[in-house]
Amino acid sequence: MILPASRRGLLLASLLGAATIGVAADGGWPAVGGDAGGMRYSPLDQVTPRNVWQLRRAWTWRHGDLDRFPDRRPFAGFHATPILLPETAGGALVVCTPFNRVVALDPATGAERWQFDPKIQLASAPQRLKCLGVTYWEDTEAPADAACRHRLFSGTNDRRILALDALTGTPCPGFGAGGIVDAWPLFAATEPAPADPWEVQFSAPPVVAAGVLVIGHINNAKNQKARAAAGAIRGFDARTGALRWTFDPSAGVGGANAWSLLSVDEQRGLVFVPTSSASPNWYGGTRPGNNGYANSVVALRADDGTVAWSFQHIHHDVWDWDTPSQPMLVEFPVGGRKVPAVVVLTKQSLVFVLDRQTGRPLVPIEERAVPTDGVAGEQLSPTQPFPVRPPPLMSTRLTPDDAFGLTFLDEAACRQTITGARHGDIYTPPSTTGWIMYPGSAGGMNWGGGAFDPVTGLLVTPLSRIGLYLKLVPQEQVPEAAGFDPTRGAPMGPPAAIAGTPWAIEQRLLLGPTMIPCTKPPWATLVGVDLAAGEIRWTVPLGNISKLSPLSLPLDWGAPISGGPIATGGGLTFIGATGDARLRAFETATGKEVWSTALPASAHANPMTYLADGRQFIVVAAGGHMFINAAGIDDQLVAYAIPPAPAARDAPSPGAQTAPR
């Protein structure tokens, strides 16, 4: 049941209170995650299940950088979520391109207002290029009419931090050198240091708390060598760009970087950092122990970078199950009151709920025994943490009996692959005979995270349900020239050496001869979870395989995904994410798909929504993905809205609610 707008507004006010983490009551979208705590929720209720069918494309904007750099097209992922600035900061819609141009658009028309091009220095060899968004901050200590009182911050692929005036796009002269901080010298001076500058990149936007700008980074070599670059998180003065502090989660080992989005609780002065595994992936013999702050959510005090608390969701990770998504800050019911909480979504499809101030579990967590018989030189943890509720959001066990194929030959080949490899439940150890990971290293859940509706208490998140086959091979059995292809980010195919270890790694998607997954469909799902009850309320397929199957089957069996959802006060969840190039709307309460429309390319960015000229817009970047649909890389930002009256009508007949496929 969808609550009337008046009741939803009252209930929302009672749940959020005056000192919230920043849901924009005016219908704005001031941060990439909707608010600083990443709920990805808007109270806007103009678009509902009754009228969503009326949505039409309102405008399209193309960033044009693919035409400027045609040789980089296959590597440029337009996965940014725009933000909407408040009217005091110009009211523009601001987005970044994969080449780190920052562009301000008119939110009602998509017309450009200004743009700033940092002219990034590209590597000699193609690298993945992406920018997930920009960050807005108001310097309340500056005079009301001062330049750069309203600032935008963005990190670049070539390791610089930009500070721009939000009204004009002009660099802020008091920040670093002419509005730019070059962070490469800091990377080069931190042990372990990158062997090459392009081992590290900025892609996720920084955050600001207590006047300190905090930023993590991508580590492109973590799967290639035992001592990859340190995963240092750094805090800079938001006014001057001066380095304030450095926190290294890897403790000198390397990796454990935070490549996903950070969250902020400004009231408590805390920054929540989602860290990855320590280096290298797949083998931990060179880094014994639990690897402390790796695979964790670490709460840092923004003013000095010290640790307030941390929670590790994997001990001694050898599965590349990084903490993928932005820690979600919500109000969680405990004993009749609302407790500020952090929700941690993992690639393993597990959901943890922690006290935001202390890190203590608000839902009990059990350490359960897992296998420890890994390869020679390995020391696996005898236990791993599991929440008592909710259960895993997908199956975490795969056996030969689960093999799937469109034909008998397909199914037989898949069964043979699973039988010949080590298989079983989650945390199956890496093996020299091959092993099956399910979920794979891409999840389960991934960087797009989930959306939380504070009125219904439902968490909605997508999950990938495609397995992975991997095998550790002694390096002496691998040709000396074999290595990681830097243009692909991760190896898929023959074994590639992991420098500093005895091993090479072979990995590939768990697919049959016709390139159909060996796991039963659906291969992607959208799941609704009652967070307070710890129960899965609904699970529905996400995506259609008509464009992805060599047989062009029009089946709703789920599609390869990357990206996430948003939830709205109108009772809808919007999501692209799928490789079938569609944007969809689901009833948040039931999971029923009530609308979908074709996009010019697949949208592997989270959508966003806002109010402009009295209309609710839903906007998403349709840019494709180099690992999902490399031939479909594009550069379009697409906005949808219900046309102004008199075109609006009452709900149509049931058969007209979904746009044609």
**Quick count: other Cβ atoms within 10 Å of Cβ 581?**
22
The residues, any chain, with a CB within 8 Å of residue 337's CB and separated by 6 or more, are: none
| 126: Cβ contacts below 8 Å, ≥ 6 apart | 71, 72, 74, 75, 487
Please answer whether residues 259 and 217 qualify as being in contact, where contact means their C-beta atoms are separated by less than 8 angstroms. Answer: yes
- Write the DSSP symbol of residue 520: P
Planar angle of CA 614, 617, 618, nearest 5 degrees: 165
Q: Are 419 and 435 in contact (CB under 8 A)?
A: no
Angle of CA points 433, 323, 290, to nearest 5°: 65
Tokens of 612: 């402009």
**CB 354, CB 330: distance < 8 Å:** no
Instruction: Tell me which DSSP letter residue 543 carries.
Output: -
Amino acid at 249: P
DSSP string, 472-517: EEEGGGS-TT----TTTSS--EEEEE-BTSSEEEEEEE-B-TTS-B
Task: In whole angstroms, give the CA distance from residue 115 to residue 92.
Answer: 12
Shortest CA distance to 172 belongs to which of 256, 241, 272?
Answer: 241
**Is there a contact between 616 and 585 (Cβ–Cβ < 8 Å)?**
no
Place of tokens 């209720």: 45
Distance separating alpha carbons of residues 158 and 166, to the nearest angstrom: 22
Please answer whether residues 505 and 435 qualify as being in contact, where contact means their C-beta atoms are separated by less than 8 angstroms. Answer: no
Dist CA 661 CA 546 (whole Å)? 9
Residues 138 and 118: their CA atoms lie apart, in Å, by 22
The residue assigned the tokens 């709900």 is 651
Residue from 301, 238, 232 nearest 268 by CA: 301
Rounded Cα distance between 470 and 426, Å, is 14
Q: Which one of the listed residues 320, 322, 453, 634 is annotated catalytic? A: 320
DSSP string over 8-21: HHHHHHHHH-SS-S
Q: 165 an active-site residue? A: no
Q: Which amino acid is at 612?
A: A
Distances (CA, A) of 271 to 48, 342, 361: 34, 11, 18
What would you measure as the largest C-alpha separation in the chain, in angstroms? Answer: 73
Residue whose tokens read 């692929």? 157
Q: Nearest-5° angle of CA 5, CA 458, CA 570? A: 25
- Edge-to-edge order in the sheet of strand 328-334: 328-334, 337-345, 351-355
Those residues whose C-beta lies under 8 Å from the C-beta of residue 140, and which sit 6 or more positions away, are: none
Say how far apart CA 525 and CA 535 lie, in whole Å.
16
Token pair listed for 493: 């195919």
What secondary structure does DSSP assign to 346-398, as a single string? -TTS-EEEEETTT--BSS-EEEEE-----STT----SEEEEESSSPPSS---B
Dihedral of alpha carbons 16, 19, 22, 26, sign: positive
Could you give the residue numbers annotated as active site? 320
